[in-house]
Amino acid sequence: MRTFSLSAVLMLFFIVPSAWGFSNKGEDCSKCHTLTRDEAAAILKEIIPNPKIVDIKIAPTRAMWEVDVESNGKKAPLYIDFSKRYLFSGNLVDIKAKKNLTEERFTDLNRVDVGKIPLKDALVMGDRKAKHKVIVFDDPD
């Protein structure tokens, strides 16, 4: 009888709370779990020299943070778990939707705003006011 009581107590203290840790009820996990830019930089500096934290938000899995980092001119999403102990650097895939969420985020982070490219002195072929434009960069030397 004593073994059953000990098992029940262990289950209450170890198994049940871990299940409550990751809710699937659409709750805002950032109310209980926080990660500041300074904390993220301190965690990432172990593997990335001078990481620049672009953004931090709850990952699509709702069980970790998505930390957008810039290094060597490239931006990429990394994932840090709520314990701040584990880092995941790889593709996060939505199985049902058949979408690579990491690749989509990487593309969004590194998208170039062509409206900011100065075309004042550009050589233009075709209509300057065309709806679609192709911009080619070349080094004449």
The DSSP code sequence of 84-108 is S--EE-S--EETTTTEEHHHHHHHH
Query: pTM for this structure?
Result: 0.65
Give the domain 27-111 fold.
Nuclear Transport Factor 2; Chain: A, (3.10.450)
Residue 16 has pLDDT above 50, yes or no: no
More confident residue, 79 or 11: 79
More confident residue, 18 or 64: 64
Q: What is the structure's pLDDT at 137?
A: 81
Residue 101 has pLDDT above 50, yes or no: yes
Distance CA 101, CA 60 (A): 8
Across 90-108, average pLDDT: 95
Q: What are the structural domain ranges in the chain?
A: 27-111
Banded pLDDT at 25 (limits 50, 70, 90): low
- In degrees and rounded to multiples of 5, residue 19 shows phi and psi of -70, -35
- In degrees and rounded to multiples of 5, residue 33 shows phi and psi of -115, 130
